[in-house]
Each structure stands twice: as structure tokens, then as C-alpha cells.
Chains A and B, each alone.
Chain A
């Protein structure tokens, strides 16, 4: 990998990190309602995978999906405006934190029913094959999703139909508040299930953006060539709790410390320095990210509230909500 490419990934991860911190702060200021599921710590999965995809590939994510939206073209301003219920938000403030979507760039949604989007990704991959476009679809999901039926139905269907789809598990060791190991019959909740469906199952350091990009590029190339789906388990860790309500006190201090020392940004920065990129250049990337997000926060705050009449639009393809004559 060229230093410039890694530097770009690093900067994108920094933008996501700063945006998630901003989301956290804005929540505490009372400007974000409901809840948020922050992806700080997971940046390398989204950015590394995205770097390995074609611009027209499809991405499906979960309620912890801010990083995927941004990795696939959503701006911090659009995302933060959505979180702050502004008309200028990514979904016109109809979706909120859990449903960030940027369909125009193939980021086809963030879904908050665990596992539901895996069959959708299989369907998008099926569609790509029927249309002969050589696109692939990627579903990102948490470790908790590996124990729900839709996961297993999607894997089997994708395998028997040999669909160009990648299933990427962000294993952050906890399904909400419970260690995934306590509720799963196998040590690797995703990768260990792959053999049952006759598809490759791999494990990668999900905090290493280069490793993620490499393995996704390989599995994507395979899927695009018609060799079928694969299951990737990316080991990572969340820096915040499950959601805003969760201080994550159930995680042992030494475990938290170990993972914080294995921060995806630190790893990428170390690699850049090894490649000979001057620290000043890295610091400039940090400053650009910080400045971009600071401006995004202010611009998002300045957005108008949605027109209440918008509540009765967008149910149907004609733009309306009429259910009767």
C-alpha cells in the first residue's frame, strides 16, 4: 500500500472518530435525542473494507452504523444534522442515529432489527448478478447478530445461490451488555459458523485498517469473480458503551486498557511513520479532520428543524402517505 492511500484512510478514520466524539458531546448537551450507538474504535473495519470496494458496491449496516455511512460518502455534517433532528440531515430527520442511509452512493441503510439486513444484502447481491453488473454487496453486523435466525438463513441462501456478498462481523466481544462468549456455542461467533455453510470464514484484526483492506479485497475479488460469499470476522472493540444509556462498567479494566492500546488510529499512525511519512504530515491530517468536524458541528446545528408536514410524506413512491380514497 502506498503511503498516500494509508494516509487517506487514516484521515477518514480520524474524521469518524471526531464525529463520534462530537455526537457524544452533543448528546450530553441535549442536542441529540433518543439514543446513539457510537462506533468509535470500529473505524478500521468500515474504512478498510470501503477502501477495498468499488464505488458502486452496496453496503448494509446496523444501528451502530455512523462509520459505515461516512466511509461510503456521507459527510459528518449530514450525519450530525440527522442526529440533531435537522431537516438537513441525511434522512431529513426521519431516520435518526440508527438509520443513517446514503442510497445515492450505495450505502443502502442502517437497520436496527438485529440481523435483518443480511438477507437484504444477499438480495442486493442476487440483483447484481441478475443484472450482470459485477457489483458485490457487503453486510456489516455485530457479534450479537450471529445468533439470530436471519443470519443463518442469509448465509445458507447466499451459499446455495453462490451470491457475490460478503458478511462482515464486527466482533467487539459484547452483544449489548453480555459477553458474546457467554451466549455462543463456539469461540468465534462468526467465522466458526462458516464451515456449516460451506463458505470461507476468516478472522482479521479489525483495528488494523491495512489488514482489513487486504482481506476484504481478496474476498471481494473472489465474490466478484463468481466464487460466492464469504464470512469475515473482524476483531475490534468499542470505546463507548453499547448505547448512550450504557457506561459499560461490565468490561474488565485491564481488557479496556489492552484494547485502547490497540487503537486503530494508533496502529495506522505507527504504520505511516514506519513508511517514512513525517509526523508533521500526520499531524496535518489530524488537524484537517478536527477542523472539518468542528465546522460540521456548527453547520449541522444551524440547520432548520423539519417542517412538521414532512411527517406525512415518503410512505409511498408518489411521495405521499394516503392509505385510502
Chain B
């Protein structure tokens, strides 16, 4: 294996590893077969596994996710692709009403082991209907697990955990990270869902980030270090299960919290995390909590406008400086 692997290649690698070990894993989605996916995240799967395991679908998001659900209920482990996370709205009934509820409302009679993969987030100039960070949509629904990896190795490890999970998982692949590179994961690499990673240690402030905001937080931490402020950076990795324990443990060391979220401030995941900290970790805090999140507008097109909306390194640095006074 090469010395480095891209996030994009890691998606296909993660799926392929699971398809090799479990014949129940099948893929379906728009343009995922010979075309290899519009983001080239399924390249090689059709060639290796053929049309019985990798299925091109019509542009029918309800049929894609509904069929994945029916297959998951009857012995398969489908991996369904929704091309852009904005399109989850086209099949939201399945993610809000069907998939997360069916086990519960049948008194535990039904299991739905499926993964809905989707390309999420902004920064690539796709405009308002192809750029949103929608991970917070899924967080409003009890019954969905939510994964959003930040590194190629985590893509592979969390994909393994997601596909092996007997619970439904919404797997957000960040468009802005697809070209990023990292060390390839070892064979049979599995990253348990619901385990945040401390990706930088520091004693002064905790930055909690997800997906594309992890490199933003790390870059900010580097700059802050030059000013004598040592930030601890947590990659949350999953929103459900939410690793509150790791966040509280970090706050025990730093006593200051900043969330770095791409999704809008309005209803963003940081609000849930911060409310748990307020309930259970208030005594740990020496400063007000800051949430850096997307502005509450649709994602605009031009770079200059998009940068105004999505948190940047400069905004993170400024927010942390503001807390240093406490």
C-alpha cells in the first residue's frame, strides 16, 4: 500500500474491506457503479465486486434509502449513497420517520443495519443547494448514529464500524476533505463509533471540532501556541453516540470550551454538546462557552462570501483570545 492515502480513496477502501469480509454488504446509489461516483469515492468497487454488489440507481432518493431499509430488515447490510447531503431532504421521511423508528415502534422486532453515506459541507463553491453541512439535521432524530470522519484512516476505521453496526448510521464524508492525505490505516482497522480523539493536547482551552473543522481547529491551535496559548483539540468523530466523557475530561484540564462547527449556529450540534456541559460540567468551567458555527444563512456561492459564513482559522483564533482573559 502507498505511503499515503487520500480521504477520497479511503472511502472506497473502507467499503471494499467490508465487502470482502461480508457478502451481505451491497452498495446502491446514483452513478456509483462504473462511473465510480461523482466524487470518485466508489472507484474500483464495481470492477472488484460487479453488478450484483454495486447497484446504480435512478435519481430516486426515496427509493434508494427505502430499498436499503427493506434490504437491511431482511438480512443484507446495504450501503446507500446520497450524492450530496442536501439531497437527504428528498428522502428525509426515511431518516426521520422510518429507519430510526422501526425498531422502537415494533418493540424491537426489526433490525436495520444500514449505512447512508453522503457528501457533506461547503468550501467548494457549489452554492446553496449542494454545500450545506447537514449533520445537525440528523442529530434532531433519536435512533440514528452519526459519523463524520476527519482523516483518511478514520474514514476507513469508522466505515468498518458503521457497516458492522446493527444500527443505522448516517456517514458524512466531507467534500472539502476529499483531497486531503494521511497515513493508510492498518489491516482490519476499526474505529469504534462514539469515541472522540484528542488530536492535540493543551492545557488552556478545549476546541471541539468535527470533520473539516478539525484541521481548522488544529491550524488555529498552532497559531495560538505562538502566543503562549495551548489549545487541546478534540475530533468529536461522531455526534451519536456523543462522546461527552472525553469532552468533560478535557475540560477538567483546560476549563475553557470552544466548539468549532460548520453547521449553522441555529440548531447546530454544538448547542447540544454545550447544554450537556452546562448540565454536567458547569463547575469545570472558568470562562463562558463560545460556539463558533456557520452563520444562519444559506451557503453563498462566491469564495469571499462562503468564507464569511463558515468558521475560519482567524475566527477560531479570535474567539480563543477572547476567552484567554478569563
Contact = CB atoms under 8 A, between A and B. Distances in A.
Q: Do A and B come from one complex?
A: yes
A121 interface: yes
B110 interface: yes
B97 interface: yes
Contacts of A150: 62-63, 66, 93
B166 A317 contact: yes
B67 A323 contact: no
Contact of A137 (B57, B60, B70, B94): B70
Contact of A314 (B70, B104, B244): B104
A325 B98 contact: no
B240 A109 contact: no
Interface residues of B, number: 52
B103 A325 contact: no
Given A123-B78, A137-B70, 11 more contacts: A108-B110, A111-B98, A116-B98, A119-B63, A119-B65, A120-B69, A124-B71, A153-B62, A153-B66, A154-B67, A324-B243
Interface in A108-156: 108-109, 111, 113, 116-128, 130-131, 137, 149-150, 153-154, 156
Among A89, A118, A124, A153, residue most surrounded by chain B Cβ atoms (within 10 Å): A153
Nearest to B80: A123
B74 interface: yes
B219 to A, nearest CB: 27
Interface stretch (A19-27, A94-102, A214-222, A291-299): A94-102
Interface in A249-294: none
Contact of B63 (A89, A93, A154, A313): A154
A109 B66 CA distance: 13
Contacts of B26: 130
Nearest to B246: A325
B24 to A, nearest CB: 8
A126 B244 contact: no
Contact of A315 (B68, B104, B276): B104
B63 A127 contact: no
A92 B107 CA distance: 5
A8 interface: no
A123 B167 CA distance: 17
A153 B60 contact: yes
B75 interface: yes
B245 interface: yes
Among A91, A99, A130, A321, residue most surrounded by chain B Cβ atoms (within 10 Å): A130
Among A58, A118, A123, A321, residue most surrounded by chain B Cβ atoms (within 10 Å): A123
Given A91-B107, A122-B67, A128 B74 contact: yes
Contact of A323 (B65, B68, B76, B241): B241
A319 B58 contact: no
A157 B58 contact: yes
A101 B63 contact: no
B205 to A, nearest CB: 22
B67 A130 contact: no
Given A108-B73, A156-B58, A324-B276, A317 B66 contact: no
B279 to A, nearest CB: 11
Contacts of A101: 105-106, 109-110
Contact of A94 (B62, B75, B105): B105
B95 to A, nearest CB: 12
The 4 closest A-B pairs by CB, nearest first: A119-B66, A123-B70, A123-B67, A317-B166
Contacts of A161: 55
Contacts of A116: 62, 66, 93-94, 97-98
A111 B103 CA distance: 12
Interface residues of A, number: 53
A103 B76 contact: no
Contacts of B187: none
A contact patch SS = mixed
B120 to A, nearest CB: 20
Interface in B214-234: none
B62 A119 contact: yes
A323 B240 contact: yes
B108 interface: yes
Interface of A: 58, 60, 89-95, 99, 101-104, 108-109, 111, 113, 116-128, 130-131, 137, 149-150, 153-154, 156-157, 160-161, 313-317, 319, 321-325
B241 A322 contact: yes
A12 B62 CA distance: 35
B192 to A, nearest CB: 11
Nearest to B112: A317
B21 interface: no
B263 to A, nearest CB: 18
Given A109-B106, A137-B70, A160 B75 contact: no
A64 to B, nearest CB: 16
Among B69, B102, B107, residue most surrounded by chain A Cβ atoms (within 10 Å): B107
B186 interface: no
Given A122-B67, A314-B108, A109 B102 contact: yes
Nearest to B98: A116
Nearest to A310: B107
Nearest to A316: B167
Contacts of A128: 74
Given A131-B75, A315-B143, A324-B241, A103 B66 contact: no
Interface string B194-218: 1000000000000000000000000
Nearest to A90: B107
B6 interface: no
A157 B60 contact: yes
Contacts of A58: 70, 74
Nearest to B247: A325
A95 B102 CA distance: 9
Given A119-B65, A323-B240, A323-B241, A126 B107 contact: no
A325 B63 contact: no
Contacts of A156: 58, 60, 63
B200 to A, nearest CB: 21
